[in-house]
Amino acid sequence: MSMHKHLTSCVLCGSNNIKPLKGYELATLTRCKDCGMVFSSANPTLDELEEYYKGYGRNDYLSPITIKRYHEILDQFEKVRKTNRLLDVGCGIGFFLDVAKERGWEVFGTEFTDKAIEICESKGITMHKGPLNPQNYSLESFDVITSFEVIEHINTPNSEVENISKLLRKDGLFYITTPNFNSTLRYYLGPKYNVIGWPEHLSYFTPSTLENLMRRHLLRKVEIQTTGISVTRFLSSKKPATAEETREGTAFISENSKDEKLRNRFETSALLGLIKKSMNATLSATGKGDALKGLFKKI
């Protein structure tokens, strides 16, 4: 197996003024002194990535609350519906696109595994395998492009967002989610925070570095939020986790997880709903929520 190489410049701004992040040496985390971007300086080889991801868990549980959240996200897109085309980059087995398709969108997706492609195509989703390639589509043809928990897995964020910008029409919307490196849990748990792990996560964004990235590619901020604190992730970070438990989409999103039970309680209680809304407003105002969510417009 070939050995990975180490990056010598920032994956966001290209500066050579980068320093290892103290305490995070195991994940080879590095911070750019010029723009503040945090990333892994170890560049995994294809062999290393294939070895890691061949055992990567896939979650087939779709929470009714998640469906409700999908509708809330899609509600924001109605005002820009012109071409009626929506692309989800790294769409998994197409849960979000299923909901968009029900609402009349012409839906497209990308994924890496044959199984995910097969499942999505069986549901009428137009799929392309591998990384996002603008040559597979007409340029500036999409009203909306989405990316849920994908960009942290790559260390070429500029080329990824450049390709997204090429495919998005003027005034179209890009919606993205990724873990927030400035989250309360990361500050509390430090390197034990199990969002941090190589080679699964290679780029670690904050509200400011995410906005910086988008601005470089003609994407203007409409809104950035940082919401939620994951009880399940907090507890699993405090104890040694099995490889399966640390996979995204297994321990943290299931019908019986502590997070899902809490979500149900907050969803069904008016008082708890108000508390949650207030808590998320505070987390967003301070930039300290676990989940970083951004909505951007192509200019």
Confidence tier at 58 by pLDDT (50, 70, 90): low
Q: How confident is the model at residue 57 (pLDDT cuts 50, 70, 90)?
A: low
- The answer to whether 35 and 16 are in contact (CB under 8 A) is no
Per-residue model confidence as pLDDT tens digits over 7-19: 999 999 999 999 9
Is the pLDDT reported for residue 3 higher than 90? no
> Given phi > 0 = left and psi -120 to 50 = alpha, else beta, which region is 74?
alpha
pLDDT value at residue 1? 46
Helices and strands in the chain, H and E counts: 11, 13
Lowest mean pLDDT among 60-64, 109-113, 221-225, 282-286: 60-64
Give the model confidence (pLDDT) of 233-260 as tens digits: 877 787 654 544 444 444 456 676 777 7
Q: Range with the lowest mean pLDDT among 148-152, 204-208, 286-290?
A: 286-290
The predicted-structure confidence for 168-184, as pLDDT tens digits, reads as follows 999 999 999 999 999 99
In this prediction, residue 63 carries a pLDDT of: 87
DSSP letters spanning 35-102:
T--EEESEE--HHHHHHHHTT--------HHHHHHHHHHHHHHGGG-SS-EEEEET-TTSHHHHHHHH
Please name the helix (run of DSSP H) or strand (run of DSSP E) that holds residue 166, with its range, or none: helix 157-167
pLDDT of residue 251: 45
pLDDT, tens digit (0-9, with 9 covering 90-100), for 83-115: 999 999 999 999 999 999 999 999 999 998 899
Q: pLDDT tens, 181-223?
A: 999 999 999 999 999 999 999 999 999 999 999 999 999 999 9
Q: What pLDDT score was predicted for residue 56?
A: 64
Question: Which segment of 58-62, 138-142, 271-275 scores lowest on mean pLDDT?
Answer: 58-62
The domain 62-298 having CATH identifier 3.40.50.720: the answer here is: no
Evaluate if residue 141 carries a pLDDT over 80: yes
Stated as kind and residue range, the H or E segment containing 277 is: helix 270-286
Identify the band that residue 224 occupies on the pLDDT scale cut at 50, 70 and 90: very high
The token pair that represents 246 in the structure block:
């640390």
Q: Which residue has the higher pLDDT, 54 or 213?
A: 213
Taking every pair of Cα atoms in the chain, the longest distance, rounded to a whole number of angstroms, is 56
pLDDT value of position 164: 98
Structural domain boundaries of the chain? 62-298
**Which class for 88: exposed (0-12), middle (13-18), buried (19 or more C-beta within 10 A)?**
buried
Are residues 104 and 84 in contact, defined by beta-carbon separation less than 8 angstroms?
A: yes
Question: What is the band of 274 on the pLDDT scale with cuts at 50, 70, 90?
Answer: confident
Residues in a beta bridge with 204: 38
What pLDDT is attached to residue 248?
44
Can you give the pLDDT at residue 205? 98
